Amino acid sequence: MSWKKWSDNIMLKIGVLASGRGSNLQSIINNVNNDNLDIEIAAVISDNRDAQALVRARKYDIYTSFLSPGEYTDKKEYEQVLIEILEKKEVELIVLAGFMRILSPYFVNHYYQQIINIHPSLLPAFPGLDAQKQAFTYGVKVSGCTVHFVDQGMDTGPIILQKAVPVSVDDTLEDLKKRILKEEHKILPQAIKLYSKNKLTIQGNKVFVEDV
């Protein structure tokens, strides 16, 4: 898996899909601005007009687009427009950072091994919505976050990076969410960096990670 097949001087362009707060987008922006991440955020796209992620992106003059699902007849038409924008912006890696829509096999196959997602649990435990709450309610002693490639399943693709955090009996759900989020903000930019430097190799469901 290698994105820059024809030149070493080209910067990876990423597209971030986000539906809400955008704190993970912010951590990517911060890493780019601190020269820790040698990539370009070519587009931030949301399905939510009021997403804070769009506000954050505009502040840095990053191209943004709001795509309202209600304006398209079906998911395929929606995703076709999404692909048109991403292609126009020459995006080669799509980062799902709190994007609340499930992408269809059509989209996932179009961007085979080019979509990554951040999830707030140690997958395969607690996939789906409210992962932190699921873990908290279950009473686990350790939780964490995962960056993984997106395949056709729900939070099932090959795992790139994970970070564990302890859970104490005195924690509130909010404590746990904060502790996990802090780690999300580290491993998502780290995974993008690894991808941008062609340090990830997928074999079956395993991702081999070379040191950077």
Regarding 182 and contact with ligand GRF (CB under 6 A), the answer is no
Closer residue to ligand GRF (CB): 177 or 197 = 177
Per CB under 6 A, the list member of 4, 21, 193, 199 interacting with ligand GRF is 21
Q: Count Cβ neighbours within 10 Å for each residue of 176-201 and write b for 16 or more, e otherwise.
A: bbebbbebbbebbbbbbbbbbeebbe
The least CB distance from residue 186 to ligand GRF, in Å, is 12
**148 is known as an active-site residue:** no
The least CB distance from residue 176 to ligand GRF, in Å, is 11
Site for ligand GRF in 102-141 (CB under 6 A): 118-120
With contact defined as beta carbons under 8 Å apart, do 161 and 199 qualify?
no
Helices (H) and strands (E) in the chain, counts: 6, 9
φ/ψ (deg, to 5) at 145: -145, 160
Closer residue to ligand GRF (CB): 4 or 133 = 133
Regarding 20 and contact with ligand GRF (CB under 6 A), the answer is yes
Question: Which one, of 133, 95, 102, 119, lies nearest residue 181 by Cα?
Answer: 119
Regarding 156 and contact with ligand GRF (CB under 6 A), the answer is no
- Report, as residue numbers or ranges, the catalytic residues: 119
